[in-house]
Each structure stands twice: as C-alpha cells, then as structure tokens.
C-alpha cells in the first residue's frame, strides 16, 4: 500500500507534459483542458508496431478521435478501427487511408455499410446474420472478419466485458453460430473471408484472460479450417489492455501482452486493436478549483470547473483517478477530499477520495492524469457546459487540435 499522504507519483504523467507551465496554458486556452503528449502517443503506437507488426495493429478510435489523432496514427503506420459512420467520417475527413480502416459495430445501418463500401475499407467485422445478408445485398465486395464470442471472462467491469456468452456482440462459438457464419462468408460469391475477430473486454489487467481467449480462438480457427477447407488469414484479438490509472495499478506492458498472445498462437498471424493502452496515459485534464467546502463528518468537497461532462468514467464504471496540484506536486497530501464536478448531480464526482495538500484553495489548478482515453470521446454538453479544448504538445510547444466549444456552439443545432 502506498502512503496516501505521500507526494503525487509523477510517473503517471507523460514525460513531455511534466515540465509544462500549466498556468500559462490555462490562461491562454482556459479550463478544463485536455493536454496530450504527442511523443507519448507516437511511442505507444511504435511499441505496438514493434511487437505485432504495424500492419497488424488498428488503433481503436473510440478511445479518442479527432483529425489530428487520425493523422498521427496514419503517420505511425497503424490501421484504424472505426465502429460507426461518424468515426468513419472523421477518419476519412482527416485523410486516413481507407485501405487501413477496419469497420466495426453490432448494428451497422445500411447507410454505414454503404459508406464503408464506397470508401473501400480494408475489412468489415461481421457481427450478425442480418448484417452478413445486408453486406451482400448492398454490394459490399471486400473482406469480412467474423466476430466470435469466445466465452471467456475478461475480469473487468461488466459494462465493458464483451467476450462472454451474454454478449450482444459477435457469433457464439459454443452454439455453432460462429462456424456457420464463417461457412456462409467462405461460400459467398461476393464476400471475401478475412479472418476471425474477438474482443473480450476493455481495461483488462489479466493476461491469463487473453491467453485463454487466444487459445480458444486458435481452436475456432482450426475448426473453421476443417469445416471449410480454407485457412484463417488473421486472428484479430481486439483491444482492451488495461491502463495504469492509479500509482499501484498492475497494468501489464505491451511486451508482456504480446508475448502471451504469440505464445498461445505461435503459428498464426495475430492482429490487435488497442485504444486505451495507446491514448489513456498520454493526456492529463487540467481543471480550475472553484470552491472548497468542508462538510464536517462527511468530506471536503473540492469543486472543479468540469466533471461528468468531460470524464463520465467515474460515474459510469466507478473508475478511479489520481489528482494533484501542479504548482505543488511535491507537497504531502494528507487531506482526503472529494473532487466534485460542477454538474447538478450529487454523483458528479471526478475523484471520490483524492489525496491533496491541506491548503488546496479556490483558484488552484487541479490535474487528473491518465485521461486520454474515453474522456473527451465520451464528453457531453450536460448542463450546457461547453466541451473543453484539446491540446497536443510536442517539444514543449502546444497546439490546439480541438477548440473549446463556445456559448454559440450550444445553440448551433437549434432551428427555432
């Protein structure tokens, strides 16, 4: 157990952001503010490429996507996983090469299938019989990976566990549905069989779950080959590798993760779709403290100028974060406080039990690290709070890649 009063562990902040003058950035761009270390993002992409081969890695854009991010991923040579027409649109709008796009989704609309078809995506991940039928009918002629439910528990929050038999995604191996789907794609005169896919869940620390999933997928592949006489070109094992949010979190390295997968499937081409493990640790969120309210016998509320609208993860999944005051990083943190947002809900908490210096006060900047994945991408305008700006920092220089929403943006869709 780490001493809760100990100073903040700066290793949770990417190197390129540690020496930044956050007060200056906050003065120029306002708060809340997402700040990404571009070199960190690039290094994570490279590391995945080194361990799997960049042609076998598709960054899962749901974790964080904007044009700058799509371009960065393209420059690093990875593919991109898009799961909706919206993500497809942003990727294409950024100039991302369509032949490196993987199109996902458990309920693709006709319009989305048509958009993927017209763009010429590398592959579609087939998720249901309805969809296979529609892919054929709508004239999609590309590769189809069949998504398999391997029946493996990921040991993560149930909302983000996707590989069990209860899942809404994919075809069950246990019931024979997966094999039937593969046979259908292989027999199709229009579709090209691209391989098998599975994704057991997200924010997964247990490498043994990946080992199990890989082993099951190896068996599925053998079974498919036996039944169809056709080889499985690739086994895409999805994403999900967990990030280190708290200093003591046991996040495995990309190297350890790759070793488990390759050991389980030594003779197979393996692909992966990491999102969080590329983007999460690359960014911090900078807030301004507005009020500090001690409620005797309860807690001290330290209220910041954002909350569940820029980071809904604590509310949705009970996710934990660290918090620190950047102008006194080395200070002891004996105060246990509840970092609350500004939304009209008691549950709007960013960090329920943050360790902070006792002199935390209105006007302080407060930072939550490891907010690069599923923060901005799940941000909302709840309470008509404008969404924050997003900065990319490289070599100490910041550039705005997504501007802050303005009050005018809050009515731009209103027609009356």
DSSP state of 143: E
Q: Which residues contact 27 (CB under 8 A, 6 or more apart)?
A: none
Q: Distance between CA atoms of 340 and 352, rounded to whole angstroms?
A: 8
> Does residue number 355 form part of the binding site for ligand LLP (CB under 6 A)?
no
Residue of 16, 239, 314, 341 interacting with ligand LLP (CB under 6 A)? 239
Give the residue among 252, 255, 247 at the shortest CA–CA distance from 203: 252
Nearest distance, CB of residue 245 and ligand LLP, angstroms: 10
> Does residue number 304 form part of the binding site for ligand LLP (CB under 6 A)?
no
> Does residue number 195 form part of the binding site for ligand LLP (CB under 6 A)?
no
Nearest distance, CB of residue 378 and ligand LLP, angstroms: 6
Residue of 274, 307, 314, 372 interacting with ligand LLP (CB under 6 A)? 274
Establish whether 344 is a catalytic residue. yes
Give the contact letters, 31-60, x = binds to ligand LLP (CB under 6 A), - = no.
Answer: -----------------------------x
> Does residue number 122 form part of the binding site for ligand LLP (CB under 6 A)?
no
Q: What are phi and psi of 305, to 5 degrees?
A: -90, 20
As a whole number of Å, the end-to-end CA separation of the chain is 57
Residue whose CB is less far from ligand LLP, 100 or 199:
199
Nearest distance, CB of residue 312 and ligand LLP, angstroms: 8
Helices (runs of H) and strands (runs of E) counted in the chain:
12, 17
Q: Which stretch binds ligand LLP (CB under 6 A): 30-38, 66-74, 268-276, 333-341?
A: 268-276
Contact set for ligand LLP, span 128-187 (CB under 6 A): 160
* DSSP one-letter string for 315-341: HHH------B-GGGTTS---EEEEEE-
Nearest distance, CB of residue 149 and ligand LLP, angstroms: 12
Q: Distance between CA atoms of 232 and 196, rounded to whole angstroms?
A: 7
Q: Are 386 and 410 in contact (CB under 8 A)?
A: yes
- What residue ranges in 150-231 does DSSP mark as E strands? 171-172, 192-197
Query: Which residues bind to ligand LLP, rule: CB under 6 A?
Result: 60, 62-63, 81, 104, 160, 199, 202-203, 238-241, 273-277, 313, 317, 373-374, 378
């Amino acid at each position: 157990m780490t001493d809760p009063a100990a100073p903040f562990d700066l290793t949770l902040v990417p190197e390129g952001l540690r020496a930044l003058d956050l007060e200056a950035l906050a003065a120029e761009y306002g708060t809340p503010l997402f700040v990404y270390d571009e070199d960190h993002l690039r290094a994570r992409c490279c590391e995945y490429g080194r361990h799997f081969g960049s042609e076998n890695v598709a960054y899962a854009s749901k974790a964080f996507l904007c044009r700058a991010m799509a371009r960065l991923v393209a420059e690093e040579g990875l593919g991109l996983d898009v799961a909706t027409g919206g993500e497809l649109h942003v990727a294409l709008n950024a100039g991302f090469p369509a032949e490196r796009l993987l199109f996902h989704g458990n309920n693709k609309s006709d319009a989305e299938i048509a958009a993927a078809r017209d763009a010429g995506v590398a592959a579609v991940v087939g998720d249901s019989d309805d969809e296979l039928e529609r892919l054929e009918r709508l004239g999609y002629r590309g590769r189809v990976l069949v998504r398999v439910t391997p029946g493996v528990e990921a040991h993560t929050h149930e909302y983000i566990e996707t590989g069990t038999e209860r899942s809404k995604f994919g075809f069950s191996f246990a019931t024979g549905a997966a094999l039937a789907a593969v046979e259908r794609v292989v027999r199709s005169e229009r579709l090209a069989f691209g391989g098998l896919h599975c994704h057991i869940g997200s924010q997964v620390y247990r490498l043994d779950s990946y080992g199990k999933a890989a082993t099951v997928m190896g068996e599925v592949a053998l079974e498919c080959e036996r039944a169809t006489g056709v080889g499985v070109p690739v086994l895409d094992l999805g994403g999900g590798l967990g990030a280190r949010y708290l200093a003591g979190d046991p996040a495995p390295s990309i190297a350890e993760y790759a070793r488990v997968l390759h050991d389980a499937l030594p003779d197979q081409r393996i692909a992966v779709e990491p999102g969080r493990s590329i983007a999460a640790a690359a960014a911090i969120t900078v807030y301004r403290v507005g009020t500090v309210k001690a409620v005797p016998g309860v807690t001290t509320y330290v209220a910041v100028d954002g909350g569940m609208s820029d980071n809904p993860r604590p509310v949705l999944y009970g996710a934990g974060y660290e918090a620190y005051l950047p102008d006194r990083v080395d200070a002891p943190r004996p105060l246990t406080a509840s970092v609350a947002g500004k939304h009209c809900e008691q549950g709007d908490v960013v960090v329920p039990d943050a360790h902070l210096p006792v002199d935390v006060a209105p006007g302080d900047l407060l930072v939550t690290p490891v907010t690069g994945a599923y923060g901005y991408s799940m941000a909302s305008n709840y309470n008509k709070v404008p969404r924050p700006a997003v900065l990319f920092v490289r070599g100490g220089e910041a550039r705005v890649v997504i501007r802050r929403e303005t009050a005018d943006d809050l009515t731009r869709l209103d027609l009356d």
